[in-house]
């Protein structure tokens, strides 16, 4: 039986051809497609720089490193996210912390962020849950007033936009985030297999991210410090002549590179992004229409109604008060699955993970709205290759579940 998952990639003949041609070109690691993908992506989201990396977790780690965040610093993120949004702070020895979410958008609540501010808070990782942008204008206002860095985890929001003061702004290209990260994992809106993008308008951040992506190595002669091999110690001109093997390591970096064929796939997926977004918006509209009059379903809420068709809609997460309905979520998930409808629960509040509880002493009750969201949330299948019949099957299965109550 072919279960409809909550998300799935779309790979067409042109995607396959792009990957095949890239592999046949002989480039298997960094080649021309990496730069082409970065350029096309930066242009699409309206940013100055895009640095392609092996996954978004790496992009988040680089965001922490280029911001100089480390031991003794506090980094605040949403509890309603994937582990990596918080783990990146722990990677650099900072303390990941969590502020509660807004009950309508399920995104970080700026009022809570302001109320819980501490002097050691150096960074914010604002997550665009389900594709809807976090309240970046309010969040950056609070953060910048305290000199903290704003990172937007837009792993759910590639291609998304939002309205502010009558204008449209692109996620990745607006002025209220210092760094924005995107994921190209297959469950996300476009895919490279694995892959991520680090996006910024800051020249220094971009250059540092590029260097850290590949071991902190420098190969441009004009940047050499000239101390690298004990020869010609301060004579850069001589080093230039010394030959092409010479390189220097200026920082402790990583191998966070992405392959050329992944970027070839990314480039073609980027060409298809608008069609993905349009289909997602159609499916969301169909679900909203079907569930509008069902009093036990709360359809996804927007901070700004005008964002409805600007949002990228990575997830369709509805809220169900299972307790008052007198059913368990598992029973509903099982009943839907028996009709081929897969569902998912996103997310367990990150601070409730055993590692977070034991490392930082976080306990249940810390963010009550996120905990309630977790109790009530159910994400329905949403991906561009769903047919109208698939959408109808999901709707009928959900509605008929009520009939059995």
**Alpha carbons 297 and 360: distance in angstroms, whole number:** 35
Would you say 91 or 296 has its CB closer to ligand PLP?
A: 91
Output the smallest distance, CB 135 to ligand PLP, in A: 16
> Residue 287's Cα: distance from chain center in Å?
24
Would you say 75 or 391 has its CB closer to ligand PLP?
A: 75
Residue 361 gets the label, from left (phi > 0), alpha (psi -120 to 50) or beta, of left
Residues that bind ligand PLP (CB under 6 A): 55-57, 81-82, 84-85, 127, 153, 155-156, 183, 185, 196
Annotated catalytic residue: which of 48, 188, 323, 366? 188
Output the smallest distance, CB 383 to ligand PLP, in A: 15
| Crossing angle of helices 203-213 and 56-66, rounded to 10° | 120
**Alpha carbons 308 and 298: distance in angstroms, whole number:** 16
- Residue 274 sits at φ, ψ, to 5 deg, of -60, -35
**Alpha carbons 197 and 254: distance in angstroms, whole number:** 16
Output the smallest distance, CB 41 to ligand PLP, in A: 14
Q: Are 401 and 290 in contact (CB under 8 A)?
A: no
Output the smallest distance, CB 36 to ligand PLP, in A: 20
Output the smallest distance, CB 153 to ligand PLP, in A: 5
Output the smallest distance, CB 87 to ligand PLP, in A: 9
141 is catalytic: no
Would you say 56 or 386 has its CB closer to ligand PLP?
A: 56
Helices (H), 150-291: 203-213, 236-242, 260-291
Would you say 190 or 283 has its CB closer to ligand PLP?
A: 190
Structure tokens at 73: 């610093």
Structure tokens at 311: 């949002």
**Alpha carbons 141 and 143: distance in angstroms, whole number:** 6
Strand partners, 402: none
- Residue that has been written with the tokens 């009750």 in this structure: 365
- Residue that has been written with the tokens 């989201």 in this structure: 45
Going by the DSSP 8-state scheme, the letter that residue 32 receives in this structure is H
Would you say 325 or 369 has its CB closer to ligand PLP?
A: 369
Q: Are 270 and 191 in contact (CB under 8 A)?
A: no
Q: Are 310 and 160 in contact (CB under 8 A)?
A: yes
Would you say 4 or 155 has its CB closer to ligand PLP?
A: 155
Which residues are catalytically annotated? 188
């Amino acid at each position: 039986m072919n279960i409809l998952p909550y998300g799935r990639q779309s790979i067409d003949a042109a995607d396959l051809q792009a990957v095949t041609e890239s592999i046949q070109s002989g480039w298997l690691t960094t080649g021309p497609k990496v730069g082409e993908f970065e350029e096309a992506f930066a242009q699409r989201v309206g940013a100055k720089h895009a640095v392609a990396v092996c996954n978004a977790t790496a992009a988040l780690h680089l965001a922490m490193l280029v911001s100089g965040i480390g031991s003794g610093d506090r980094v605040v993120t949403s509890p309603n996210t994937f582990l990596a949004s918080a783990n990146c702070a722990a990677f650099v020895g900072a303390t990941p912390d969590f502020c509660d979410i807004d009950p309508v958008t399920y995104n970080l609540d700026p009022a809570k962020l302001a109320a819980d501010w501490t002097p050691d808070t150096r960074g914010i990782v604002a997550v665009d849950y389900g594709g809807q942008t976090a309240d970046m204008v309010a969040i950056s206002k609070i953060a910048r007033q305290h000199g903290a860095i704003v990172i937007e985890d837009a792993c759910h929001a590639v291609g998304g936009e939002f309205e502010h003061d009558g204008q449209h702004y692109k996620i990745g290209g607006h002025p209220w985030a210092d760094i924005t990260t995107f994921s190209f994992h297959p469950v996300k809106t476009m895919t490279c297999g694995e892959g991520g993008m680090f996006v910024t308008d800051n020249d220094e951040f971009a250059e540092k991210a590029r260097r850290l992506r590949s071991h902190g190595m420098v190969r441009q002669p004009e940047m050499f410090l000239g101390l690298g091999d004990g020869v010609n110690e301060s004579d850069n001109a001589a080093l230039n002549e010394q030959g092409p093997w010479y390189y220097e390591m200026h920082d402790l970096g990583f191998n966070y590179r992405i392959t050329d064929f992944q970027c070839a796939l990314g480039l073609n997926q980027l060409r298809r992004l608008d069609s993905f977004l349009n289909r997602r918006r159609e499916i969301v509209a169909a679900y909203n229409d079907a569930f509008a009059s069902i009093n036990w379903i709360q359809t996804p809420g927007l901070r700004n109604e005008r964002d409805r068709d600007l949002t990228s809609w990575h997830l369709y997460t509805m809220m169900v008060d299972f307790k008052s309905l007198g059913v368990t979520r598992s029973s509903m998930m099982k009943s839907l699955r028996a009709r081929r409808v897969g569902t998912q629960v996103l997310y367990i509040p990150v601070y409730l993970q055993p590692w977070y509880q034991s490392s930082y002493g976080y306990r249940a009750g810390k963010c009550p709205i996120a905990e309630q969201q977790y109790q009530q949330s159910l994400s329905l299948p949403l991906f561009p290759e769903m047919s109208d019949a698939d959408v109808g099957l999901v709707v009928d299965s959900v509605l008929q579940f009520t009939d059995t109550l």
